[in-house]
Structure 1
Amino acid sequence: MTKIKKLSLIEVISMAVGTMIGASIFSIFGLGAGIAGQDLPEAF
């Protein structure tokens, strides 16, 4: 017999928030590349 695992509401919300924060890092990285140009590694 297999046990079914369920996610709680806080776990689902945490996963959603983490995904949004992770995606925003990559979108801001593109914006920063446009502004900083070749000096982007130094900007971080």
Structure 2
Amino acid sequence: MREIKEILKTQKQRWERRRDELELRGGKSIRDCVKETNQNIK
């Protein structure tokens, strides 16, 4: 159970870093990013 929490934590940190990078680039809104990610997963 603890391992899953660790994975989720690192995943969340990765997302936050990616989001920060997008904001630095003045990129798209988070919603757009989520849409893109969902399309990439399919």
Same fold (TM over 0.5): yes
Residue 28 (1) aligns with residue 19 (2): yes
Cα RMSD for the two superposed structures? 1.4
Give the secondary structure class of the aligned counterpart of 1:35.
coil
Which portions of structure 1, spanning 4 or more consecutive aligned residues, are displaced by more than 3 angstroms? none
Letter in 2 for 1:20: Q
CA–CA distance in structure 1, aligned partners of residues 8 and 26 of structure 2: 27
Question: Which structure has the bigger radius of gyration?
Answer: 1
Matched ranges for 1:1-44 at <5 A: 10-35=1-26
5+ residue gaps, structure 2: 28-42
5+ residue gaps, structure 1: 1-9, 37-44
Q: Bigger relative contact order, structure 1 or 2, given CA contacts below 8 A and separation 6+?
A: 2
